[in-house]
Structure 1
Amino acid sequence: MTEPVVHEHVTDAVKTPDLVRLAPNVVLLRFETLKIHAALGAVRALLGAGVVRPGQTVVDSSSGIYAVALAMACHRYGLRCHIVASTTVDVTMRAQLEILGVTVDQMPPSDDLRLDQRRRVLRVRELVERHPDMHWMRQYHDPVHYLGYAEVAGLVAGALPGPLTVVGSVGTGSSTGGLTRSLRERGVDTRLVGVQPFGSVTFGSERFTDPDAIIAGIGSAIPFDNVRHALYDRVHWLDFQHAMAATVALLRDHAVFAGLSTGAAHLAAGWEAGREPGRTHVVIGADTGHRYTARVFARHREALDPADLAPREVDAVADLCPPWSTMDWQRRAYEPLVPAQERRKDPVS
């Protein structure tokens, strides 16, 4: 029996994921909060390089789990934290942030999450221009957020035999990109499958709308520099109903209470695992299901049966079609369409 470890700070306790086998060639990498790795890695690197100093205020925009992760990293290393929060941040998460000493700007209620995202970016720019001593963490753009995932790669490489296929929601690009890049640098044969909602500009589905989609944390209404398109071998686009079906099924079939992005990745991984049974498929489980209680789990009786669902194979983004499409991306570069509202250069590079 392994001796229990006494951690000096809670971030060390929550950062280590659990590996849960969902099928013979599918393993869930289950995090309490995935982005603790991005936040810790970034804060340590910035402090070590003298870019930020203890007592200084860091600021960023977040739809939720990065905000809590950054707050915890700041608590550990003596930094102040200001979060421009999405309208999707609930009262539970906001209370956590405030008790941790974070100052919070929350966007007004909106059913348009594209508008919510753009408002947040504009607010951060305003704050940085007004307070030059604030350091903008730029989780969407600064590659420093890749660094923390090298530790996760070491854990995965040590626990699972290759070849591997990493399956996860794209979001900022840092978790899927950072984990896969580190695994490949270790010499592990690693394919990367990204998961997107319809309506995200990241992989070209911005012409679609999905009224129920919770785009935050899975896709984006604006281009993110931390998404390295050439890292991805394959992409799945899913609508809300498909992601919800797989999220509910993950709890029903495996007793795993996880967020919507985990369910979406679980559905895509199941399809990929059937096509390539010789590879171990690693599903990134970014967070727990608590913030999806009302919009997903309370509606479990409405959930579709994942066994009845299958994607449409397409050859180009022009052929995408809801509710579920998939495409061989083949590690190609891609330039997302930049909305007119976002053509202004960031004041902090």
Structure 2
Amino acid sequence: MLTATAPATCAPHLLALLGRSPVAFVDTPLPHPHRGFYAKVEYLSPGGMKARAAVAMLQAARLRGALRPGATVVESTSGTFGIGLAFAGQALGHPVILVVDREIERPMRALLTAYGAAVVVVEQPHPVGGWQQARLDRLHEVLACTPDGYWPDQYHNPDNAAGYGALAEELIGQVDAADVLVCSVGTGGHSAGLARALRRHWPAMRMVGVDTVGSTIFGQPARPRLMRGLGSSIFPRNVHYAAFDEVHWIGPVEAVDTCRRLARSAFVTGGWSTGAVARVAGWISRMQPDARVVTIFPDGPHRYLDSIFDDAFCTSHGLFAPAPGHPIEISHPNAVEVTRWSRCRTVVDPLHSLAVPA
């Protein structure tokens, strides 16, 4: 039976470290000059952005009685949510087992282990659902042999979105207004939670979703994806499709170019999700110079030292190719398969709209 390394004691004082991340003003050309946008730098909060959701999900489960005191938490992750769960597990006194896949970055796997999580590695992708479905299949096997094991199910748990209320309140106190909010989309939690809370304060705020090429979330076909931390090969029910005004798909070439530009000129940078939202936020700031654009940088650069910031990795994957400076526009999410930065102003739930309107 697999066991996690249980925290010696519950450490609720850690919860005082959660949140209160700074907001940076970014005017680095990405690649073109723009008026600048505001980025909430979530990796500067211990546990990162997803620690907010992890704590919220575990606390709600404890109140419902679904998570017993000291019981083990089991979850699938590509890495970032695993860090958040490791934080929540230490703070609330729960061992954590994380199901990852062999594509996870070496620094991330080392961090998860260092934070006391037990790591289960899936070696082969699912023939249809890719790594994500393979991890979920293995998760159910682990749960079956884990007494009192609890699965937060980050993809479909409504407490995921609820965990970002405090982030919204912080933003309201840090920026004068938000005309456009740019959010990466993976589980759908932080975009749904922020849209709900921020529109109570700024009702005219537009929200732009940022996905990755090869992700199914907004109706594109599932393809192997190099980018991790955003996108999905399943349909997370936490995605609030009606809240989005448009969606962009970003490819790895654009994300790498953006992350490296940010590192050289803004010092504040990150991984795939950060590069993706920064690319889009910079473009919107250029095209709509009177709009106040706000985004969230979900993660930092440290787990990507062997990938985004490694020249040999980028060369071997063709990531130094010329990066598009603007998106192409498509009329409907499944009108054409996108292979580079693309934009669509029609947003639908792909499970309820599987064909292009006549």
- TM-score, normalised via structure 2 length: 0.83
Partner Cα separation in structure 1 for residue 268 and residue 340 of structure 2: 24
Corresponding position: 1:236 with 2:253: no
The one-letter code of the counterpart of 1:279 is A
Q: Say whether the 8 Å CA contact 2:209–2:246 is kept in structure 1.
A: yes
Q: Given the alignment, which residue of 20, 32, 50 partners 2:24?
A: 20
Cα distance change of structure 1 residues 42 and 13 upon mapping to structure 2, 3 Å threshold: same
Deviations 1:295-326 (A, max 9, x none): 211227864666x6111111112134321110
Offset, 1:116:
1.8
Give me the identity figure in percent. Answer: 29
5 Å matches for 1:216-231?
216-231=228-243
Deviations 1:45-64 (A, max 9, x none): 22223221221111110010
Corresponding position: 1:323 with 2:340: yes
The one-letter code of the counterpart of 2:154 is Q
- What is the aligned partner in structure 1 of residue 168 from structure 2? 153
Partner Cα separation in structure 2 for residue 336 and residue 267 of structure 1: 29
Offset, 1:281:
1.2
* 134-143 or 214-223, larger mean C-alpha shift: 214-223
For structure 1, the 5+ residue unaligned runs are: 1-6, 339-349
For structure 2, the 5+ residue unaligned runs are: 1-10, 28-34
RMSD: 2.6
Offset, 1:336:
7.4
5 Å matches for 1:262-273?
262-273=274-285
Deviations 1:265-295 (A, max 9, x none): 1111111122322322112101111121222
The one-letter code of the counterpart of 2:158 is P
- What is the aligned partner in structure 2 of residue 142 from structure 1? 157
Offset, 1:164:
2.7
Q: Say whether the 8 Å CA contact 1:56–1:133 is kept in structure 2.
A: yes
Q: Say whether the 8 Å CA contact 1:162–1:189 is kept in structure 2.
A: no
Q: Given the alignment, which residue of 68, 75, 93 partners 1:78?
A: 93
Corresponding position: 1:334 with 2:350: yes
SS in 1 for 2:310: helix
The one-letter code of the counterpart of 1:173 is G
Partner Cα separation in structure 2 for residue 58 and residue 311 of structure 1: 41
Q: Say whether the 8 Å CA contact 1:59–1:81 is kept in structure 2.
A: yes
- What is the aligned partner in structure 1 of residue 134 from structure 2? 119
Q: Say whether the 8 Å CA contact 2:211–2:248 is kept in structure 1.
A: yes
Cα distance change of structure 1 residues 184 and 239 upon mapping to structure 2, 3 Å threshold: same
Cα distance change of structure 1 residues 113 and 84 upon mapping to structure 2, 3 Å threshold: farther
- What is the aligned partner in structure 2 of residue 65 from structure 1? 80
SS in 1 for 2:248: strand
The one-letter code of the counterpart of 1:258 is G
Q: Say whether the 8 Å CA contact 1:25–1:279 is kept in structure 2.
A: no
Deviations 1:3-41 (A, max 9, x none): xxxx97445335322100013441111111110111111
Partner Cα separation in structure 1 for residue 236 and residue 353 of structure 2: 11
5 Å matches for 1:1-349?
9-13=13-17, 15-23=19-27, 24-32=35-43, 33-108=48-123, 115-131=130-146, 133-206=148-221, 209=223, 213-299=225-311, 303=320, 309-317=325-333, 318-329=335-346, 332-335=348-351
